């Protein structure tokens, strides 16, 4: 009985330890699963952000290329206009020299040609002013787009830098989930075995306690029965003693009385 009680205490301690370990393992498994889920969510979030940045970068790059092409076209037109302007300036100088030495109709023709050249020069200068103004605006836009492009490229780079860490975290948390899941099954089995052993010992103790109580009850009933038997015997002896005393008293009353013997006179 004492050994079973000690064994029950041992199994109870093992059951408590198994239950505690089971609780800790479940908690660790839930933490690993939550970390794994958050890591995957983080990866997906990073990918969405990177895709969004790349889409914005493609738009900015496309616009930047468009304005760069415009700038290149304006620079080409400016170069052509400046080259044409130089030619017209030389022609104007030449005509002015011819006018100074010409007379009559020739002078009128040179004068008319000079007026046409002057108009062309004025028109080219106006074009160059407009193109210079447009060039400044385009260069400002190009600078803004270049800054935005650099910022988006930096955002993509910085965002992708955290991806390997999350990937490592996903791998490690996945390993933890697999390991803890396997460990959880083992702990559950241990807890079931401990519970089964404890139940067996408790059942055996209950059986022994039941038998012990039954033995106590039987012993108590036996003692009560023995006491009743002794009490009955004592009563019977007492009755017999009373009957015997009554008989002896009756016999004494019925016995004949003896006459007293006469005394002889003493001799003188």
Q: Could you report the per-residue pLDDT of 126-138, keeping only the tens digit for each?
A: 999 999 999 999 9
**Model-level pTM?**
0.53
Question: Which domain, by its residues, includes 211?
Answer: 2-251
Q: Is residue 27 part of a domain?
A: yes
What CATH number is given to the structural domain containing 228?
1.10.287.2610
How far lies 188's CA from each of 20, 33, 70, 198, in Å? 11, 19, 73, 15
Residue 35 lies in a domain: yes
Q: What is the pLDDT of residue 255?
A: 58
pLDDT score for 214: 79
Is residue 215 one of the residues assigned to a domain?
A: yes
Output the CA angle 252-254-259, nearest 5 degrees: 90
Is residue 30 domain-resident?
Answer: yes
Q: How many domains does the chain have?
A: 1
What crossing angle do the helices spanning 2-101 and 104-254 adopt, rounded to 10°?
170
Residue-averaged pLDDT of the chain = 81
**Is 259 inside a domain boundary?**
no
């Amino acid at each position: 009985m004492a050994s079973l009680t000690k064994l029950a205490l041992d199994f109870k301690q093992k059951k408590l330890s198994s239950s505690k370990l089971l609780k800790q393992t479940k908690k660790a498994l839930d933490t690993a699963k939550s970390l794994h889920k958050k890591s995957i969510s983080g990866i997906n979030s990073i990918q969405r952000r990177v895709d969004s940045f790349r889409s914005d970068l493609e738009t900015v790059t496309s616009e930047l290329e468009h304005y760069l092409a415009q700038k290149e076209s304006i620079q080409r037109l400016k170069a052509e206009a400046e080259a044409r302007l130089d030619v017209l300036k030389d022609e104007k100088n030449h005509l002015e020299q011819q006018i100074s030495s010409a007379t009559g109709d020739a002078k009128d023709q040179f004068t008319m040609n000079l007026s046409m050249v002057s108009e062309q020069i004025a028109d080219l200068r106006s074009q160059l002013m407009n193109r210079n103004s447009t060039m400044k605006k385009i260069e400002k836009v190009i600078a803004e787009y270049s800054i935005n492009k650099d910022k988006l490229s930096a955002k993509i780079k910085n965002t992708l830098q955290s991806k390997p860490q999350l990937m490592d975290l996903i791998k490690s948390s996945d390993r933890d989930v697999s390991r803890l899941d396997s460990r959880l099954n083992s702990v559950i089995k241990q807890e079931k075995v401990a519970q089964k052993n404890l139940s067996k010992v408790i059942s055996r103790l209950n059986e022994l306690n039941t038998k012990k109580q039954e033995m106590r009850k039987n012993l108590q009933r036996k003692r009560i029965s023995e006491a009743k038997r002794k009490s009955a015997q004592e009563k019977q002896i007492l009755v017999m003693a009373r009957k015997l005393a009554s008989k002896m008293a009756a016999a004494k009353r019925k016995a004949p009385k003896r006459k007293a013997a006469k005394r002889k006179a003493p001799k003188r």
